[in-house]
Structure 1
């Protein structure tokens, strides 16, 4: 499916503190997941480094002044303190190089603090004032035609509850952004009587039958073929919208059929329509990120950058990001090798060995039995009729 086999762990990109974490199971991991590895040695090193971090992160007092530093020129009153710190830094650098931590690479990807006029590195992450400035740069007399959806998504964009639920989280965020114009939202009992879609109550009889079976007894998204395809995400939305009032259109970005400008104009039109929303299914590595296929809503378009703002539902991994139209087009035009399949009825017939395959050969056998067919990724536009 479109959102599995990302290979990275949880991260706090705003603080730069990587957290080592993996998913349990047989190694067939999902979006934003970490490959399994020996935990004992990693955790023992992590404990040692926690103590080291306390040393490196302490405020060093020198008389009445102080400075925060992790550099080798930190002021100490004793020369042996300097030698000790240098040794610890050298050990830390060597350990990082040996570990080749994915977490560090993800963190570095988020550190783009370019001035708004300067030549940008992309993606530009929405974690500094220059990036936020593009939300209002296209505004005229207070009407920010290209960025209104960004603010509407603040009504209910939650982080995906696990690392395979990006399509679910994106769909839920889209539904919650329609509060006020949507006749009826899914209602989680925990919030009753207030309507609020969650990654639990979005599943209903329609989704179980036509999209994927996901309940207390069967975890279809966490079973072969894993995740949710673009076509399945369409079904997820259709099962939660009144077809007499709402239209759900999917565009598979086949470069032979859909041009770069076609994509730009269609998505911009959806952003400018207060009764429309757009979400994308893109491939992270093609967009300058770490991971595989991923879903997220689109919150804005910047004319100055010719870039779309991806409202990343993997909040633990990446901030929202401006991705240039050309780059996004390339990432939408990638192939999901199980972009179309026979659905929950076929999945229910898989034997346990293929439902949770332990080897690549088992996975290929499961895909054949499920009738997996390759499809281009792309985007979905939801609009009021």
Structure 2
């Protein structure tokens, strides 16, 4: 069977498409580069529904002009941090962490920091960080046979495939409700909050109260565009809250793309209120913690 030219273009690898566009038209080449650069942890829909594919991709690639212009990759390293955010590696970022009264989540989370193993595994990397940091009983590990450990490789081993499975998540990521259900498989207490059901004050209280403890963690589902970054939907844990600046520390699991940054809570709230194109609901926070005896 001979495919149409449109179908062939859709199936071309991203960088093959860029090379083809460059040879055909300089403007098309530039547009293809922008699309490739903005690829993030946003879910990639199944190939069976092309209309849904276009809708989801368009939603995930909607970024402010400031974010798009900031997406020029330096010679080496991740994308530049937007001016409204403060990287933890900067002196001001480190000072903010040390001065914060709500930084107890940072220490155990940083000990088990993970980089997502593919561009759709942000929810998985965020989850295993939290599970290991909680200090609960750990399962046998395929990756480390002599040491029990929660790993991205084994995350779905005990999860009902109807809830989530590795093949699906590696293409689409996970929604707020889906991750909440997946984490309920483990011996932890799970609470999920859609940001659309929370006021800004309630959202802030959840972050402040959780980051002030080391026995529970706030896993944030948000859209990058609202905090000035390039990309779409994403998951990462929140590790600290600073009252003076009303900002929270986001430990970005896409470390190849952005470092850990302090983000104004108002912008995190806007990012969490963004509608997930898969569920049709707002994003939000999953709180995972140890179970009471």
Task: Pick the TM interval, shorter chain.
Answer: 0.7 to 0.9
Counterparts of 2:156 and 2:263 in 1: how far apart (Å)? 31
The match for 1:136 among 91, 98, 106 is 98
Counterparts of 2:253 and 2:143 in 1: how far apart (Å)? 22
Q: Deviations over 1:280-318 (max 9, x none)?
A: 000100111111110001111112210011110001000
Larger Rg: 1
- What's the secondary structure of 1:262's corresponding residue? helix
Unmatched 5+ stretches in structure 2: 1-9, 38-68
State the partner residue of 2:133: 177
Q: What TM-score comes out, normalization by structure 2 length?
A: 0.74
Cα deviation for residue 111 of structure 1 reads 4.7
Counterparts of 1:286 and 1:111 in 2: how far apart (Å)? 14
Runs of 4+ in 1 over 4 A off after TM superposition: 100-104
CA contact (8 A) 1:159 1:169 kept: yes
Q: Does 1:264 find its partner at 2:220?
A: no
Q: Does 1:151 find its partner at 2:119?
A: no
RMSD: 2.7
Counterparts of 1:111 and 1:202 in 2: how far apart (Å)? 30
State the partner residue of 2:59: none
Q: What TM-score comes out, normalization by structure 1 length?
A: 0.57
Counterparts of 1:247 and 1:41 in 2: how far apart (Å)? 50
State the partner residue of 1:294: 234
Cα deviation for residue 320 of structure 1 reads 0.7
The answer to which structure, 1 or 2, has the higher relative contact order (CA under 8 A, 6+ apart) is: 2
Q: Does 1:237 find its partner at 2:190?
A: no
State the partner residue of 1:342: none
Counterparts of 2:145 and 2:179 in 1: how far apart (Å)? 26
Q: Does 1:192 find its partner at 2:98?
A: no
State the partner residue of 1:327: 267
The match for 1:285 among 202, 225, 231 is 225
Cα deviation for residue 146 of structure 1 reads 1.1
Which has a greater percent of helix?
A: 2
State the partner residue of 1:208: 161
